[in-house]
């Protein structure tokens, strides 16, 4: 029994590309905020608490976004029986 490679319709590929772009943009924004707060906390230690709370809030959001995208991608790419 051989597994056939998945065939994803072009419109679904376009949807996946759009979703990936959204996830990438969201991650870039979160990391930019964390980097800015990190730089600020080096100059002003009172920003360290804001940085810590931002990281604690944003990191799980990033992980969740990646997990959701991976799940959708795996569903689309799974061989059809």
pLDDT by residue (tens digit) across 16-35? 999 999 999 999 999 999 99
Does 4 map to a domain? no
Does 2 map to a domain? no
Q: State both tokens at 77.
A: 């790419």
Predicted local confidence at residue 1, as pLDDT: 46
The model scores a pTM over 0.85? no
Contact call for residues 32 and 55 (beta carbons, < 8 A)? no
- Please give the tally of structural domains in the chain: 1
Q: Which domain holds residue 34?
A: 10-77
* Residue 66 host element (H or E): helix 48-77
Does 5 map to a domain? no
Question: What is the SS3 assignment for 58?
Answer: helix
Q: State both tokens at 38.
A: 């990190």
Predicted local confidence at residue 8, as pLDDT: 83
């Amino acid at each position: 029994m051989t597994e056939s490679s998945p065939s994803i319709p072009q419109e679904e590929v376009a949807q996946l590309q759009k979703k990936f772009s959204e996830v990438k943009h969201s991650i870039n924004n979160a990391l930019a905020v964390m980097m800015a707060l990190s730089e600020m906390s080096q100059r002003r230690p009172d920003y360290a608490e804001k940085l810590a709370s931002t990281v604690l809030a944003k990191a799980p959001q990033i992980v969740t976004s990646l997990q959701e995208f991976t799940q959708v991608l795996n569903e689309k790419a799974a061989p059809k029986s």
